[in-house]
Amino acid sequence: MIFKPTLAAALLLSAGPAFAQDAPAQPEQPQVRPAAAQPEVGSDWPFYGGSEGAQRYSPLDQITPENVANLERAFVYPTRDLPEPGARYSPETTPLKVGRSLVMCSAKNILISIDAATGEENWRHDPGVAAQAIPHAAACRGVSTYTEPSLPDGAQCKTRVIEGTLDARLIAVDLETGQPCADFGDNGAVDLWQGIGQKVPGWYAVTAPPTIVRGIVVTGAQVKDGQNRDAPSGVIRGYDAVTGQLVWAWDHGNPDNSQGPAEGETYTRGTSNSWTAGVGDEQLGYVYVPLGTPAIDYYGTGRIDAMNEYSNSLVALDVTTGQPVWHFQATRRDVWDYDLGSQPTLLDYPNAQGDNVPAIMLPTKQGDIYIFDRRTGEPLTPIGEVEAPKDNSVEPEWLADTQPVSLWHTLRKEPKQEKDMWGFTPIDQMMCRIQFRWSNYQGYLTPPSVDKPWIMYPSYNGGSDWGSVSIDPVRRLIIANYNDLPNYDQLIPREEADEMGVKPIYAPHDNESAHKPAGAGRGEGGGSVYPQAEEPYAVRVNAGWRNWGTGVPCAAPPYGGIRAIDLDTGETVWDEPLGTARRNGPFGIKSHIPFTIGLPNNGGSVTTAGGLTFIGAATDNLFRAIDVQTGEVLWQDVLPNGGQANPISYEVDGEQYVLIGASGHSFMETGQGDEIVAYRLKK
């Protein structure tokens, strides 16, 4: 691949498109609130990402590299939300800590409050999500809270907990009692299927916490990938946090839908959705929404212009109007499922004149890290352009000629070579070398092909995925865990796919029992096929490029790492493989080898003022404390199941706690459980 780094900062600056501002008259427009003071991270963990800016940094410093060896479990809390046989769970739970309580949602959206020091349950509220609503897997990454200044102290739902559910509802309950907020929507629930179209359980599901800015609850949803171009819309909607009334909708396919589609119509189908957490700036009144790829990931011909404009973009929306202010497209005309999955982070960062300005950091699945002035979208770190290869593409005329790339920092490694192929013996290694030579591969921008498989590296798991990065604003470091493994994919001609019996989610599934709801079986995991119904091609995705027969990855380790990056220069300070081989081996045999290998990981880190980064994420089911200065693992504990969740840190009665959801992850194959584990220092 030819890298032609050209400083093209100006080129990538994109002002918001001139959308028609003549919105229809809006009767009973809910009040637009002024900026309110936001809770601080410290004793509490008031936002999914810790602070309002989602830095995943705790200013607590009781636990240090010197005493971390004395950590012990404070409590293990089971959510009691466990999968029925055959159901797939990936809870990914990250609680908030407010006052003395931890509030969280379980995999199937049970809202729970527990005592933050003892793990004793205060209350729970089960919104009753049906198993059929589970998409790839049941997940609820987090909840958000909102305190309404105009309500009297002690009023019901003065402070409310709000979540989005797998069956596409917003649920609001009182922080103190768990009782549904009577003033919010229909007795504490708002139906997000409104305006989406035909209701297919599991196709449209919320798994991320909503972003609440100036009293507006902003949410997108996960739309199950690769079913049909005619898929639920990726519309982003803002609801009044008290009444649950729709304030605005941003449908990038049709700006006229800003107050909802006309009777009998839907929001534009198949547009890019935002399944991950956004971030908000209360002062500016902006919400930053990371968008994914349109509904058909691996084939682009026929996408409408608005999709080509906004897909895979970070979009700054004015939360008072729902109108875009600026956006940055991280992948043009994506055909790789490089959704923006990482929650962006707000920070102060120097501009060209050396003045600290309000900034936003965006890590991507390709591994690139970008920083922008969050008021204007002006890049604060250099951005280049690379030519994108088109050989063997099924749609070379449609593909973008060039792609943006961060010249400041990327987590992406060098392209794979034949000698990077792996196995346990020369025979399986040779099989992988044959597959390597047999495939189409011209670096990370190799387009999908049908004649042969193509290598997609980094894979759709990143680079950086939904765990995102943590930032140490004092030591001036970014701590980024990342995946480092390829996928081995191939387009399948429609006729062949139909013969294989590949069916989209909305088709009747004859042989599936009640125990195999939508989302089980095909769709994710090792070798899976996405139907891309009514397109010329379906697609076969071998996630992690597992070898035939053995299941051993074809690429040599490491498969994931964690890295500290100098926030001022973008240079790597340290970089270590993340995870040991204890749970890995050929034919699914656990080797119990305690050596570091570097594993696939999902979930992020928390970095503390005490000088430690805490992270689970890797598929060895260990929770570890890492010296933020050196990358050395100083402490670890074996979790009950995989820690594929973002850990947090908080304080109760002068004691610092660290907590992680250790409930496993179906796609990462790390068990299925319901445990939330908290640690503090031995007394």
Partner 1 sequence: MNPLCAVACSVMYAHLIGLRARRQRSTAHNYKSIMTFISNNATTPSGPTGRGWRFAAFALAIVLVLFGLPLVGGGIYLIILGGSWYYALAGLGLIVTAVELARQRMRALWIYLVVWGLTVIWAFWEVGFDWWGQVPRLVAPTVVLVLILIVLPALRRPQART
Backbone angles phi, psi at 217, to 5 degrees: -90, 115
Looking at beta carbons only, is 431 or 609 nearer to partner 1? 431
Applying CB under 8 A, among 14, 586, 629, 630 the residue interacting with partner 1 is: 586
- The answer to whether residue 515 forms part of the interface with partner 1 (CB under 8 A) is no
Find the part of the chain contacting partner 1 (CB under 8 A) among 401-409, 417-425, 525-533, 656-664.
Answer: 417-425
Shortest distance (Å) from residue 589 CB to partner 1: 8
- The answer to whether residue 632 forms part of the interface with partner 1 (CB under 8 A) is no
Shortest distance (Å) from residue 413 CB to partner 1: 13
| Residue 600 CB neighbour total at 10 angstroms | 27
Nearest-angstrom CA–CA distance, 107 and 496: 36
Shortest distance (Å) from residue 488 CB to partner 1: 15
Shortest distance (Å) from residue 178 CB to partner 1: 49
Looking at beta carbons only, is 398 or 422 nearer to partner 1? 422
- The answer to whether residue 585 forms part of the interface with partner 1 (CB under 8 A) is yes
Site string for partner 1, 532-561 (x = CB under 8 A): ------------------------xxx---
- Residues near partner 1 (CB under 8 A), total: 26
SS3 at position 146 = strand
Query: Residue type for 608, please?
Result: T
- Which H helix or E strand runs over 132? none
Shortest distance (Å) from residue 628 CB to partner 1: 25
Shortest distance (Å) from residue 580 CB to partner 1: 11
Looking at beta carbons only, is 559 or 623 nearer to partner 1? 559
Find the part of the chain contacting partner 1 (CB under 8 A) among 192-200, 202-210, 286-294, 435-443.
Answer: 435-443
Find the part of the chain contacting partner 1 (CB under 8 A) among 25-33, 183-191, 200-208, 414-422.
Answer: 414-422
Looking at beta carbons only, is 442 or 591 nearer to partner 1? 591
Nearest-angstrom CA–CA distance, 562 and 626: 10
Applying CB under 8 A, among 37, 352, 427, 514 the residue interacting with partner 1 is: 427
- The answer to whether residue 414 forms part of the interface with partner 1 (CB under 8 A) is no
Contacts of 33 (CB under 8 A, 6+ apart): 149, 214, 215
DSSP state of 577: E
- The answer to whether residue 428 forms part of the interface with partner 1 (CB under 8 A) is yes
Give the chain's length. 683
Nearest-angstrom CA–CA distance, 570 and 135: 37
What are the start-end ranges of the H helices in 607-666? Answer: none
| Residue 636 CB neighbour total at 10 angstroms | 16
- Which H helix or E strand runs over 105? strand 101-105
Nearest residue to 51 (alpha-carbon basis) of 274, 370, 281, 363: 281
Q: Secondary structure of 406-472 in the HEC alphabet? A: ECCEECCCCCCCHHHECCCCHHHHHHHHHHHHHCECCCCCCCCCCCCCEEECCECCECCCCCCEEEE
Catalytic residue from among 225, 281, 318, 337: 337
Applying CB under 8 A, among 66, 72, 418, 451 the residue interacting with partner 1 is: 418
Query: Residue type for 32, please?
Result: V
Looking at beta carbons only, is 411 or 554 nearer to partner 1? 554
Nearest-angstrom CA–CA distance, 304 and 295: 12
Shortest distance (Å) from residue 427 CB to partner 1: 6
Looking at beta carbons only, is 306 or 431 nearer to partner 1? 431
Backbone angles phi, psi at 653, to 5 degrees: 50, 45
Looking at beta carbons only, is 436 or 488 nearer to partner 1? 436
Shortest distance (Å) from residue 596 CB to partner 1: 8
Nearest residue to 599 (alpha-carbon basis) of 653, 555, 561, 551: 561
**418, two tokens:** 């034949």
Looking at beta carbons only, is 595 or 653 nearer to partner 1? 595
Nearest-angstrom CA–CA distance, 662 and 674: 7
Applying CB under 8 A, among 169, 303, 333, 433 the residue interacting with partner 1 is: 433
Nearest-angstrom CA–CA distance, 427 and 77: 46
Applying CB under 8 A, among 437, 568, 569, 588 the residue interacting with partner 1 is: 437
Catalytic, 391? Answer no
- The answer to whether residue 429 forms part of the interface with partner 1 (CB under 8 A) is yes
DSSP state of 587: G
Residues near partner 1, by CB under 8 A: 418-419, 422-431, 433-434, 436-438, 556-558, 585-586, 591, 593, 595, 597
- The residues carrying an active-site annotation are 337
